[in-house]
Structure 1
Amino acid sequence: MINVTRCGIHAFHEVLGIDTDIIRFFWVFHSEHENARQTAFQVVVALTISALDASDTPGHHMVWDSCKVDGDEQRNIVCHPGGGFKSASFHYWRVTIWDQNGNTTSSALNEFFTTYPRSSQLLPQYSMNQTYMPHSSLIFRTWPIVFASGLGHFNFSCNGKLNSASGHVLDPGWTNYHRTVQFVAYDVSDMLTEGENVIGAHVGTGFYAGDQGSDRFFWPKYEDNTYVRYGNELCFFAEIHLLHEEGSHDCITTGPEWKIRDSATSLANIYSSETKDFRAYPTRWDAPGFIEEDGWRAATPVTGPRGKLKYQSQPPVTLQDIFKPVSRKTIETGVITFNLGQNASTMIKIEFSGPIGSEIIIRFSETVDHYGKVLMLDPLFKQIERGVFCKVTLAGPGVETWEPDFCFTSTRYIQVEGVALNADVNLPVVHSLVGRHVSSTARKLGSIEIDKEDVSALIKMCYWSFIEKFGWLEVTHLLAPSTQYIRDMETLYSKILDDIFDAQEPNGLVPTIVLEIRYMCGPFHDTITWGGSTHVFEKMFEPCVRYMEYLRTKERCGGLIGHGLGDWGHDIAFGSNQANIETAVYYRSFYTSRDDLKTKDRNMVAQAVALHFELVPAQYIGDYRIEAGEISLKLVWNTLSGIDRPEIVLKMARQEEHPSYMRFIRQGETTLNEFWQDACRSMIDIIFDRKATERGEEIQIDVAVPTSTTGYLSITPQ
C-alpha cells in the first residue's frame, strides 16, 4: 500500500494568489514495502469540492482532468486548462495514483486561490502615499481574501492583530520595482468578528525608497554613498475579495475613501536603523472602535512604480528561533550589553519603562571590545559602531514594547544606552530583551549529528552563516548545492531567476548584485564568478546566451578573462588569482595565469583549477594545506573528493591556525567569517559555509542501527 504524503505546485510556496494559467503539480508518496512503485496517476481540478468528488460525471465546475496516465512521474505535471483558471476563485485538486498491483490511493484535498488577469498588470490608480494605511470600517459576514502590496515593506493588520494573518515580516519580496512588484495574499476569515472589522497596514521605505537618515551610516565614502531609489513616495494598494455564503462576490479596493496618517516610525533604514517615537503612536489605530482624530486624512493617488504585478511565490520571511541573552553586563552607567550567545540575522524585541520623552539608543554588533562595547574591526566600516542604531522615544509611564518594524541585522551583542537594569538609577528600566532569528520559511529537509564534537559544531555554524541583506549572486551559486540538502530551495531559486531576468542590462551583463541596493562599479559590478549565476530553464536560455555574448567582448590576450574579484576571501581578497578563476569558470576547461608568472601560478588556487578540470597527471597529485578563498576552495575540495581523499579535507579544516575552519570554533565564534581571520569585519557570511556543508557528505560516520550491532557506513546524501 502506498500513501500520498505531500502535494504542491512547483514554484509556489504559498498558493493564495496563483497568477498564471499554467501550473505544474507534484506529489510525494510513502510505502512500507520496499518494492512499491507508482504505475499511473490522475489529477483532477474543480471549482467545488462536490465537483471534485464527482469527477467521473464532469460538470461546469470541472476545470481540468489529466485522465489516467500510465507512468511513474511525480513532478512537473503540467496543468493548462483550455479556458484558463477562473479569476479570484478557489480551486480544489486531488491526485490519485495506482501501484504495481493495481491498488489506488488518493491524496488529501488540496486547494489554491487565483488572482485574475490584467491586460497591463500595472498598479491600481489609488495607492497609499504615506505610512499608515487607512482605518476603514467594514461590516460584513464573509470569507475574505486580501491581496495587498506596500512599498518598500508593509505589516498587514486585521482587527488590531499585526502580521497575524500570515506571520510574515518584510513583505513583499524585494524586486526591481521598475520591472516587477510583488503582492501578498492573506486569508483573514478566521480573524473576523460579528459587526465592525478593520483592515490596515503599516508601510516603510525598505529597499524601495530607502532613506539613510541624517545621523546614520550606510556605506563607506570611497564610492557613491546612496541607495538605489526606485521611488520617492511610499505607496500601498489592496483588494479585499468578499466571498459570500450564497455565492456572490464583492471586491473592495483602496481609494480616496480610505484614511492615512504619518507613522510614529519616522526612519526605517533597512540597514539596521530605525527611529520611533511612541508619543506619536496612535494606540489601537487598526482595531475596531478606534476614533480618528487629528492627523488622519484621505488617501490620495500617487505615481507608483511601473513594474508588473506578480504574486509573492517564494517562501516568505518569518521570525523563527528565539535567543534569550546568556549574559548581560553594565558597561557604564546607562549602557548595558546583552550577549545572545548566537550570531544570526535577528529582529530583537525589548520591553522597557520610563518617563515620557526618555530617549533610548540600541546598537548591534557581532563582536565587542575588552570592555564589552560594540566593536567593528574593519577601519573601513568603523562608522558602524556609532552610525548604525535604532532610537526609541518613550511615551511613558508604563511598560512599552519595541521591535523593529522594517529592519534587521546580523548580531550577537545588543548594546542598549540610556537605560538601567533596575529602578535604583534614575533611568528607564529594561525588563526583558530577546533576539528572534529572521529567515526564510523554505521547508527544512534534514539535519545531521555526528560524534565528532568539533565537526558537529562546524555543521551547526553553517546553519546560521549566510549573508543577510545584499543580493550578491555569489550566494546563489556557491550555496545552491549545499543548501538543497537542508532546505527546499526550488521556489526561492525560481524567484532569484526572475530577478536575474529583470536585472540583465541591455549589453547582456548580469550585475554582481541582484537586486542592487546601491550602485557598484568595477569588479563589484562585473564578475563572472559572482554575476553569471544563471540556470538554464526555458525562460533563462536567451538571457544566458546574451550574457555569454557580453563576456566574449571582455576577452583579452586571445581569450583570457582578466577582470573580476578573483578568489575573494584569500589573501587581500580583491584580485587574487583573477585570470585563473575567472577564465576557468568562463571556459570550464582552461588553465593559465597572467597574474604573476611562476609565482601565483604555483599556489594552491592555481593548481586546484588545473586539478579540477583534469589537466594534471595523476602522479603529480599530492596533499595540501588550505591556501584558497571562497571560489577556489570549492574546486580544491571537489578535487580532493574526486581522488577519494576526504581525510585531507578534515585535516585541512582542523588546522590550529588560519586558514582553518576549526580556528573559528576555538575563537568562540558561532558563525563562519568572511575571511580567514580572527579579527574579521563580518562574522556571519556564506563564503566558507557551503564548502563545509557539502564536504560533510564525504566524512565517514558511525551509524547506530536498530540491532545489537553498530554499522560503519560512508554515506553520500542524495
Structure 2
Amino acid sequence: MFNVIKVKLNYMDEATGVVEVPRISWQMVSDERNCYQKAYQIQIAENERFNVILCDSGVIESHVSAGISLTLKLQTAQRYFVRVKAQNNLSIWSEWSPYVCFFSGIINNEWQAKFISVETEKDADNSKGTYLRQEVFLEKRIESVFAYVTALGLYHFYINGQRVGIDEMTPGWTSYHKHLMYQAYNVTELLKTGVNVLGAHIGAGWYKGLMSFNHIRNIYGKKTAFLAEVHVNYADGSKAIFATDENWQGDNSPVVFSEIYDGEIYDARLEQVGWNSPGFKESKWQNVQVENCDKSILSPQYASKPGINDYLKPKQIFQTPKGETVLDFGQNMTGWIEFFVQGKEGDKVIIKCFEVLDGEGNAYFANLRAAKETIEYTCRGSGMETYHPNFTYQGFQYAQIVSWPGTPLLENFKACTVHSVMEQTGTFECSNSDLNQLQHNILWGLKGNFLDIPMDCPQRDERLGWTGDAEIFSRTACYLMNTYAFYEKWLWDVAVDQTVEGGVPHVVPDVLTGYSDNDVLLSQGTHSAAAWADAAVILPWSMYLTFGDTGIIRRQYSSMKKWVDFMHFHVDDKGIWSYKLQFGDWVALDAKPGDYFGATPNELVCSAYYAYSTLLFAKMARAIGKDSDYETYFILYNEIVKNYRKNFFDAEGNLLVQTQTAHVISLYFNLIDEQYRTKIAANLVALIQKENGHLVTGFVGTPYICHALSQNGYAKEAYDLLLKDDFPSWLYQVKCGATTVWEHWDGLKPDGTMWSADMNSFNHYAYGAIGEWLYRAIAGIEIDEQVPGYKHIIFKPLFGGAISYVKAAYKSMYGDVSIYWHIKKMEGLVTIHVPVNTTATLYLDAIQAISEADSLIFTNDDKSYKAEVGSGEYTVTFTL
C-alpha cells in the first residue's frame, strides 16, 4: 500500500484569496519501511472532475514533496483544484490524492471597490459601531460567488442576514498605512437570483481606538471605513461585480462603545431588526462618504485568521470576602464571555473580567492598569437574549458580575477563546504531572497571545507586538502550532515598519515611535534593542528550520540584511554595537531591587546577538544561493566572535561577567573558544548552585539555560533546574495553580502578595520558551539544520529527571514525527515513527547496550549508540 493522503497549500490546510499559486506539499503513507518518493506529478484543474487541466507538472523525478511552486497565471475570483500522485522507490505509483482547492483573490490589486464610511471627523473620539448596507440584484443563475473584504477598523460582513465566515477581529492589526490584509470568502451559498443585501457592522478596533500604555487615539486615522467587492460568476459564463461605493448607506449600531482595552457597551434597544436583509426600510439612514485610501498596500490573509477556538463552561459562581459575585472559568484565556439573559427592557448586565484573585480571595483589577475589560449590556426585554462582544476581547479567568437581572446561574455563561486559528502540531506528555501542566500552560500562553499578532499580554492596556517576546518564543511556537501563515503575515509588518536605516521597532505594528516623548523609558528610543530587533532574523530562521522553506528567507531577505547592516553601522572601535535604549536581560532576578534591567551588561547582550543574527543571516544567504553574501557575512561573524572574546574574556578564558545569562548565551551561541567550553559550563553550574539551584535569568538567558547545560554535559543539572518547584521556577507557577505562563517568576509571591501591579501579567508567554527544551531535549525531536523541515529528523532523547516515560509528536509537512520512550529500573524502550519520504538518525546516549534493535544497525562510541533510520515505526530496547 502506497498513497498520497494529504495535500497542503502554503503549508496550511486552506488558501483563500491567493494571488499566486500556493506552494504545494503532500504526505504519503506506506506499509513498507524505508519508503521514499522517486517522482511526482501535480495537476491543477478548473473543476473537481479534472477534465480541464490548467497546469500539469508532468512526471518530475525528485524526492521533494514539500513547498513545490508551479507557474500558472491566476484569474481573479476563480476556484482551482489540485491533486498529486507519487512514485516510490519500488517504482509503485500511488493513485491520485484527494483533491484540495483554493480560490484566487484580487489579482494585481485591481479593485473596483472604494473605501466608504458613515463616520465624520467629529467621530474621531467616538468608538461606536456603525452599520452599512446596500441592495444588489443578481439577474441570472449563479455558478459561484466570492467576496473580498477589509476595513479600517474591525468588521463583520453579512449577506442576506447571514454572517459571512467565522472569523473574528478582522482584518486584524497591521501597519495600516503600509500593509493591510483583506479576507476572502466563498459566499456562493448565501446569494440567490434576485434581490440580495450586503451589510457590514464596523467598529473602531486598533485603527482609531485608544492604543498602547501611552493611551493614544486615532494613531492610524479618525474614521473607520469599509471595503468590499463581491464577484459573481454566472452559470452562462458571464460575470458581475458589486462593490462598496457612494451608493451605500449607513447608520449607528447598538454598539454604543467598543475598545480593545476597555470592553463594550451594547444597547439592545437600539437594534434594527432586518437591517442586513432584503425589505428593510433605511429611510433614516445616511449616505456614506468615499474615503481616499491606498489600495496598493492590500494583500490577502489566506489562512490563520482569528476566530473562536474553544468553548469553556464556568467552574463555579461564588462570593468573595468583599461580597463580590464572581465567575471562575478555571482557565486563564483570551476571548470573551457569551451570556444568556432574560430581563425587562432597560435592565443592565455589567461584567468585569480579570485574571486572578488577590491574597484575600477578592477580585484583583490592579494589574489591568487603565484597561477596564468591562462589558455592559442593556436588555431589549423580549424573552431570552444572547450576547457576546463584537469588537473587543478580554484576558481573564474570572469575571465579576456587577449587575444582572435576577440571579445569575452557571448555565447563563460560557467563555469563548479567541486567537488566530492554527493547527496544533505538537503534543508532549510524560510521567511527571507537573511538567504536563507546564506544557498545558505554555500552549495556553500561546493561545492567549497569538491573536493576529504575537502579543505580550491580553489583559492590560498594552497587548502590543513586542518583538523580544516573539523572538524568544518562536521555536517553541513552531513546535506547538502550525505558525507559518501567522508569522509570515507579522514578519511583513516587521519589514515595513523598519526604519530607513534598518532599525527594528520594539513593537510591531509600531505604535510607539512618535508617541512616546513623554514616556520616561521609551523617550530614550523606540527601536533596535538587542534580542528584540533580532526577531527580524531569528523568526525567519525558526520558520526555515521548521518548514524547510526558502520562500520566507527570500521574502524577508532585505529586512534581515538591513538589520544586520544596522548593527554593523553602529559598532564602536572595540567591535561592540549598541544603540540608544537596550532592554538587556529584561526582568532578570539578578537586577537591582525595583529595577527591570538584569545584571548582565547591555554590551555583552548586544554583542552576543550581533554575532548570532549575523551567523544566521549568513546561513540563510547560503540556503538561497547568495554565496557572495554568505562569504561576506560569515567573515563578519568571525570578526564579531573574535571581538566578543577579546572584550568579555580574560587571558585564562574566564568570562569577565559573572552572571548566569552571560554564561548561557556565550555557550548557546557558541561564542567561546572551544578550549574553555568545559570551564565556562562548569562555572554556569556554580553560578546556579550559588542561587541554591535556581535560575535568576530574564528574557535573554531563560530560553537557553537548559540547552546550555544539557548540551555541555550537565543534563542532570538541566533537569534539576526544570523540576524545581519553589520560587523562582517554572513549576513554582504550576504549584500556585497557574494555567498559563506568568510575566514574572514572582508574579504571585510565596507570601501571597503580588509583583508591582504596573507590569504583572499572568498570561505572558515569553518564559514558556522552555517548551522548546521539552521537545528538543527531553523528547529528543530535533531538526537537522542541514536538511531542514523534518526531511531528516534527529531523535536524541534525554533520559533523566526521574521521568519514566515521555510521549511526544510533531505534525510535520511529511506526516507525524513521534517518539515514545519508557524507562523501568535498568531497562529502556524507545519507539519512533519516521514519515514516508524522510529519514532519521536515532541517538541513544548513556546506555550500556542495545537489547533489541528491530533491524536497525547501531554503531557504538563510549555508551553512545547511533543508527540511521528510514521511514516506518521502530521499537528499540536497551539496558542502562
Name which of 229, 252, 256 aligns with 1:266. Answer: 256
| Structure 1 position 698 matched with structure 2 position 777 | yes
Deviations 1:329-357 (A, max 9, x none): 24599952111100011221122233323
Query: Superposition pairs for residues 251-650 of structure 1, below 5 Å?
Result: 251-294=241-284, 296-305=285-294, 308-331=297-320, 335-370=324-359, 372-378=361-367, 382-384=369-371, 387-419=372-404, 422=407, 432-466=412-446, 467=449, 468=458, 469-519=463-513, 520=516, 521=522, 522=524, 525-534=527-536, 535=540, 537-556=553-572, 558-562=574-578, 563-571=581-589, 572-574=595-597, 576-577=599-600, 578-588=602-612, 589=641, 590=644, 601-612=657-668, 613=670, 614-615=672-673, 616-619=676-679, 621-622=681-682, 623=685, 624=688, 625-650=694-719
Structure 2 unaligned regions, length at least 5: 120-129, 450-457, 517-521, 542-552, 590-594, 613-640, 689-693, 749-753, 779-798, 808-819, 835-839, 841-880
| TM norm structure 1 | 0.87
Higher mean displacement: 7-16 or 349-358: 7-16
Instruction: Give the CA deviation at 1:487.
Output: 1.3
CA contact (8 A) 2:134 2:198 kept: yes
Q: Which amino acid aligns with 2:561?
A: V
Deviations 1:187-213 (A, max 9, x none): 12233467654332211111112247x
- Aligned partner of 2:209 in structure 1 is 210
Instruction: Give the CA deviation at 1:3.
Output: 1.3
More helix by share: 2
Instruction: Give the CA deviation at 1:98.
Output: 1.3
The structure-2 alpha-carbon separation of the partners of 1:716 and 1:207, relative to structure 1 and needing over 3 Å to count, comes to: farther
Instruction: Give the CA deviation at 1:489.
Output: 1.6
CA contact (8 A) 2:306 2:421 kept: yes
Instruction: Give the CA deviation at 1:506.
Output: 1.1
CA contact (8 A) 1:47 1:92 kept: yes
| TM norm structure 2 | 0.72
Name which of 221, 231, 234 aligns with 2:221. Answer: 231
Give the number of aligned pairs: 682
Higher mean displacement: 125-134 or 271-280: 125-134
| Structure 1 position 35 matched with structure 2 position 34 | yes
Higher mean displacement: 435-444 or 531-540: 531-540
Q: Which amino acid aligns with 1:465?
A: G
CA contact (8 A) 1:177 1:230 kept: yes
Query: Superposition pairs for residues 131-146 of structure 1, below 5 Å?
Result: 131-136=130-135, 138-139=137-138, 141-142=141-142, 143-146=144-147
Mapped to 1, the partners of 2:227 and 2:477 lie a distance apart of 35
CA contact (8 A) 1:512 1:526 kept: yes
What is the DSSP-based 3-state SS (H/G/I as helix, E as strand, rest coil) of the residue aligned with 2:335? strand
The structure-2 alpha-carbon separation of the partners of 1:576 and 1:172, relative to structure 1 and needing over 3 Å to count, comes to: farther
- Aligned partner of 2:810 in structure 1 is none
Q: Which amino acid aligns with 2:16?
A: L
What is the DSSP-based 3-state SS (H/G/I as helix, E as strand, rest coil) of the residue aligned with 1:607? helix
CA contact (8 A) 2:118 2:249 kept: no
Mapped to 1, the partners of 2:771 and 2:366 lie a distance apart of 25
Q: Which amino acid aligns with 2:773?
A: E
Percent of aligned positions that are identical: 21
- Aligned partner of 1:215 in structure 2 is none
Mapped to 1, the partners of 2:362 and 2:292 lie a distance apart of 45
Instruction: Give the CA deviation at 1:626.
Output: 0.8
The structure-2 alpha-carbon separation of the partners of 1:600 and 1:101, relative to structure 1 and needing over 3 Å to count, comes to: closer
What is the DSSP-based 3-state SS (H/G/I as helix, E as strand, rest coil) of the residue aligned with 1:203? strand
Mapped to 1, the partners of 2:773 and 2:680 lie a distance apart of 26
Mapped to 2, the partners of 1:629 and 1:183 lie a distance apart of 38
Q: Which amino acid aligns with 2:499?
A: E
Deviations 1:609-636 (A, max 9, x none): 3333234341453333312112211232
Q: Which amino acid aligns with 1:579?
A: E
The structure-2 alpha-carbon separation of the partners of 1:435 and 1:551, relative to structure 1 and needing over 3 Å to count, comes to: same
- Aligned partner of 1:57 in structure 2 is none
Deviations 1:583-605 (A, max 9, x none): 211123435569xxx99921211
| Structure 1 position 115 matched with structure 2 position 105 | yes
The structure-2 alpha-carbon separation of the partners of 1:706 and 1:628, relative to structure 1 and needing over 3 Å to count, comes to: closer
Mapped to 1, the partners of 2:557 and 2:235 lie a distance apart of 47
The structure-2 alpha-carbon separation of the partners of 1:93 and 1:656, relative to structure 1 and needing over 3 Å to count, comes to: closer
Structure 1 unaligned regions, length at least 5: 54-60, 213-217, 424-428
- Say what the alpha-carbon RMSD is for the aligned residues: 3.1
Mapped to 2, the partners of 1:433 and 1:553 lie a distance apart of 56
Q: Which amino acid aligns with 2:427?
A: S
- Aligned partner of 2:67 in structure 1 is 76
Mapped to 2, the partners of 1:291 and 1:715 lie a distance apart of 65
CA contact (8 A) 1:361 1:416 kept: yes
Mapped to 1, the partners of 2:475 and 2:298 lie a distance apart of 31
What is the DSSP-based 3-state SS (H/G/I as helix, E as strand, rest coil) of the residue aligned with 2:424? coil
Deviations 1:659-680 (A, max 9, x none): 2111101111111100111224
Q: Which amino acid aligns with 2:297?
A: K
Deviations 1:316-374 (A, max 9, x none): 11111112111112459995211110001122112223332334332111112356543
- Aligned partner of 1:14 in structure 2 is 14
What is the DSSP-based 3-state SS (H/G/I as helix, E as strand, rest coil) of the residue aligned with 1:243? strand
CA contact (8 A) 1:325 1:433 kept: yes
CA contact (8 A) 1:336 1:419 kept: no
Deviations 1:402-438 (A, max 9, x none): 2111111221011121226529xxxxx9961111111
The structure-2 alpha-carbon separation of the partners of 1:404 and 1:506, relative to structure 1 and needing over 3 Å to count, comes to: same
Deviations 1:247-280 (A, max 9, x none): 2221111223322211211322122422222121
